[in-house]
Amino acid sequence: MGRVSKSLSKLLDSLSESLSQRKGLVPLIGLGLVVLNLVLEFILPGTFLTRTDLFLHLGVLAAIFGLILAQAL
C-alpha cells in the first residue's frame, strides 16, 4: 500500500502543478465535451449517447469543476 500511496501522491502533485499553470484547461475541456454532444446529436440521433446527453452532462460538470478549481489554485 505504501508504494501505491506514494505514486498516487506524486501523480496528484504533478497534476496540481500542471493545472495551476493552465487554469483554463479544464473548463475548455468541458466546453469541448458540450460541443461534442451537439455534434453527436446531428451525426448519431437516437443513440444512447444522444438520448442521455452524456457528454453534455460531463462537460457541464467539468466546466464547473474547472472554474472552482481555478479559483482555488
Per-residue pLDDT of the chain (73 residues; tens, 9 = 90+): 578 788 888 887 887 777 777 888 888 999 999 999 999 999 988 888 889 999 999 999 999 988 887 777 6
Q: Which three cell numbers stand for residue 65?
A: 469543476
Q: Which three cell numbers stand for residue 64?
A: 464547473
Predicted TM-score (pTM) of this structure? 0.74
pLDDT on residue 73: 65
pLDDT on residue 18: 77
Query: How far apart are the C-alpha atoms of 59 and 33, rounded to whole Å?
Result: 5
Query: How far apart are the C-alpha atoms of 70 and 56, rounded to whole Å?
Result: 21
